[in-house]
Amino acid sequence: MGVKSCDFRTLTGFLSIVPELRSRVLVDKTSLQGRYGFKLHWKPQIYVPPGRRKPAASSGPSLFIALQQVGLKVVSAKAPVDVIVIEHIERPTPN
């Protein structure tokens, strides 16, 4: 992934959909303002359903190593997070 100009809020939004981090909530704690340009090259984690053939292996470091190569680090921590809870749902009535 090459980015010419990106702020860290946009970067954390992108990284939150990457399979390696999809189950996590990412929070930018860099305190960096402005936009930055960088390139990330990593070997993506690919889900292969049972019984399917794995695609040819691509080369490259893990996402976490690729982030470290541009001076970033993902750290696992506990923090408060806003959550929406749906307690009940019904089909709408016809008009």
55-65 burial, b if ≥16 CB within 10 A, otherwise e? eeeeeeeebee
Measured between alpha carbons, how far is 7 from 35 in angstroms, rounded to an integer?
A: 4
Would you state the pLDDT for residue 3? 60
Domain residue ranges of the chain, discontinuous segments joined by +: 2-69
CA distance 77 to 14: 19
Does the model's pTM come out above 0.75? no
> What pLDDT does 56 receive?
63
Per-position pLDDT tens, the chain of length 95: 556 788 888 888 888 888 788 888 888 888 888 998 878 888 877 767 777 777 666 677 888 888 888 888 888 888 787 889 999 999 998 87
